[in-house]
A and B are shown apart, each in its own frame.
Chain A
Amino acid sequence: MFRENLMIAFKALWANKMRSLLTTLGVVIGVAAVIAVVSVVQGLFFAINDIFKAFGSGWVRVMAMPPDDASWEGKNIEPLYREDAEYLRSHVPMIAEIAPAMFIPGQTIKHGENRSSTDILGTVPAFMDVVNFYVDQGRFFTHIDDKSSRRVCAIGEGIIEKLELEEPILGSQIQIGPESFTIVGMMEARGELIGMNLDDYIFVPYGTARSMFGEEMVGNTIWDIAVTDPERLELAKSQITDVMRRKRRLAPEDPDDFRLFTQEQFTSALGSISRYATGAAGGIAGVALVVGGIGIMNIMLVSVTERTREIGVRKAVGARRDNILMQFLIEAVILTVIGGGLGIALGVGFGHLIASLIPQFPPAHVPMWAVIAGFSVSGFVGVVFGVYPAMRAARLDPIDALRYE
């Protein structure tokens, strides 16, 4: 009986192709909109997630930051000194490695006739391991470079283009601010992510940065830490917090004047952002689907009226009420599910299109749950808005129906 109803449904819909298509448009648009938004947001989510995953699950970043409440307004925040990093390492057994890094934005760089501007990161050799970002050619700096504040640097791939550097790149001289630096290494390509372009950084030894830019830049310091046991990250975080509070002489009732970041925080923050965006899209789509559903109900009512005679004949030869009900309900559901399928296909296309049109945007990603949800919700709309017309059809009196012109 089900198979017969399917065939009847397809035949009826196909007989009125244009009408069926227009009727299902609301569902198509609603589903397409959600899928497009979800795929774009998910693509972003995945790409950012990948970047943070690259840091590894045992990564903790410490930054000096005021706490949220107003009690700290106006007070100065004690910066993160390098020596304190050493103290932390020796007092927290779960720290495998700690890499302080000093962030110096917008420095003028020159090479020959070419001029540009870029961000500098002063750091230590351990940086590469902790952050999982390695030199591709040449070398990173050594402890001696660091201690001696030597004017050497490792450049991101993008710098080559910025300053139009020519082979051989290793050993060339570039000017950073007022000083001349030797390029000793080239970092691996990492690519862009919405303005955060790892390929555009220049890396110099921490000691060098400190000697050039002085203490005023120390406020831009972060510490990247690799813990010994990523499984027990929470324990490591609490150990770090305890030692930091002691070193920075915070009273028990004072809030932390620093913050710890882990990969999980970024991913959960991203997760909730993407959930909000998806929820908003879902809300809008919900409206479209309700409107679309009403349209479907309307057309199904028309269809039932048009086929009054046919319903009478079916009843005369033995169709029961639920046979007729099922026939029309299945027709409505097929209509909406096909609309859902079309919507998903369109949404995937739009998602990819949008992602490719925004500059530096990662590719869209369509999660399986969205596809399943798209079909299920469409089917559900079909049931909800198809049941009334189907019941009307089922309740027709066969004698009246047979007399209908």
Chain B
Amino acid sequence: MANLIQVRDLKKHYQMGSENVHALDGVSLDIEKGDYVAIMGPSGSGKSTLMNLIGCLDTPTSGSYVLNSKEVSTMNDDELAAIRNKEIGFVFQTFNLLARTTALGNVELPLIYAAVPRAERVQRAREALNAVGLGDRMTHRPNQLSGGQRQRVAVARALVNRPSLLLADEPTGNLDSKTTTEIMALFDDLRSRGNTIVVVTHEEEIAHHARRIVRLRDGKVVSDEVVKAA
């Protein structure tokens, strides 16, 4: 199967005062289309940095990152924004929904920046919300939704523009155990429908929902093992 993500010797350095911090120190990784990967590591391991780079929120100091056949590591701000819009769907620990906007409006957001005309936007946003089981909550504001429902809205938003990759950062960190189960079931369902999913987490239980776990330490990959059969 084709490689959706191809990372070669990715490095990210920061200048912190007089020190040079090596957040990522040469990471190489391949992720196929349709795979379900968890990225784990203690704090300081570089997993957040790797996630930001995979998510095209940042560019590496050196190395190459090819996403869906496009070399992303040398793109400028506007090009990265376009990639984020088309290829990547984010799900955050703190949901990051717009508080003054309805669920429908939140899901429409990526489509607005993709210049999709209004009627089509609303139609697709509705479909996305239906797909996550929130068809009856479209006009609710986030403060009228439970934590689990908010995360579903976030998932719907992440998928509405049909991205290549769903990138989740501690997606159940702010949810109770029951809702956690629901959301992880939702992810399994999405994977079975062909989505490629990358979850960044520090919880073993969450990581084991994935097919494969990549562990980082001190900016390098220390293990990369398949934990589920397909």
In the bound complex, CA of A15 to CA of B97 (Å)? 17
Q: Complex: how many Å from CA A4 to CA B114?
A: 12
- Chain B 92-122 interface mask (CB, 8 Å, partner A; 1/0): 1000111011000000011011110000000
Question: What are the residues of chain B within 8 A of A318 when measuring CB–CB?
Answer: 81-82, 84-86, 110, 113-114, 161
Asked if A131 is an interface residue, CB under 8 A from chain B, the answer is: no
B65 contacts chain A at the CB level, 8 A cutoff = no
Question: Whose C-beta in chain B lies nearest to the C-beta of A319?
Answer: B113
Evaluate contact between A399 and B58: CB separation under 8 angstroms.
Answer: yes
Q: Which of A12, A319, A321, A323 has the most CB of B within 10 A?
A: A319
Flag whether B78 is at the interface (Cβ < 8 A). Answer: yes
- The CA of A4 and the CA of B157, in the complex, are separated in Å by 17
How many residue-residue contacts, CB under 8 A, span A and B?
57
Contact residues of A between 30 and 54, Cβ < 8 Å to B: none
At the interface, yes or no: B28 with Cβ under 8 Å from chain A? no
Say yes or no: B84 contacts A402, CB within 8 Å: no
Q: Are A314 and B57 in contact (CB under 8 A)?
A: no
For the complex formed, measure the closest distance between the CB of B104 and the CB atoms of chain A, giving whole angstroms.
13
Q: How far is the CA of A321 from the CA of B79 in the complex (A)?
A: 11
Instruction: For B57, give its contact among A1, A321, A323, A398 (CB under 8 Å).
Output: A398
Q: How large is the interface on B (under 10, 10 to 19, 20 to 34, 35 or more residues)?
A: 20 to 34
Structural contact, B78 and A321, CB atoms closer than 8 A: yes
In whole angstroms, what is the CA distance A315 to B86 when docked?
12
| A320–B78 CB distance below 8 A | yes
Q: Is the CB of A15 within 8 A of B100?
A: yes
Would A317 and B157 be within 8 Å (CB), given that A399-B52, A402-B92 are in contact?
yes
- In the complex, are the beta carbons of A320 and B92 less than 8 A apart? no
B77 touches A320 (CB 8 A): yes
The A303-339 residues at the B interface (CB cut-off 8 A) are 309-310, 312-321, 323
- CB of A19 closer than 8 Å to a CB of B: no
**B98 with A310: CB separation less than 8 A:** yes
User: Nearest Cβ distance between residue B109 and chain A, in whole angstroms?
Assistant: 5
A252 to chain B, nearest CB (A): 78
- Contact bitstring B153-193, A, C-beta under 8 A = 1, else 0: 00001000100000000000000000000000000000000
The reply on A91 being an interface residue by CB < 8 A is no
Q: Which of A15, A313, A321 contacts B96 (CB 8 A)?
A: A313
A312 to B81, CA, bound (A): 11
Q: Shortest beta-carbon distance, A19 to chain B, in Å?
A: 15
A312 to B52, CA, bound (A): 13
Q: How far is the CA of A4 from the CA of B113 in the complex (A)?
A: 10
- Residues from chain B with a CB closer than 8 A to the CB of A315 are 81, 84
A259 proximal to B (CB < 8 A): no
A122 to chain B, nearest CB (A): 79
Which of the residues A317, A319, A323 comes within 8 Å of B90, measured between beta carbons? A317
Q: Given A317-B157, A318-B113, A319-B113, decide whether A402 and B82 contact each other with a Cβ distance below 8 A.
A: no
Q: Does residue A248 face the partner (Cβ distance < 8 Å to B)?
A: no
Q: Residues of A contacting B82 with CB < 8 Å?
A: 318, 320
Interface residues of B (CB under 8 A from A): 52, 55, 57-58, 77-78, 81-82, 84-86, 90, 92, 96-98, 100-101, 109-110, 112-115, 157, 161
What 4 A-B pairs have minimum CB-CB distances, sorted nearest first? A318-B85, A318-B113, A317-B110, A320-B81
Interface residues of A (CB under 8 A from B): 1, 4, 11-12, 15, 309-310, 312-321, 323, 398-399, 402
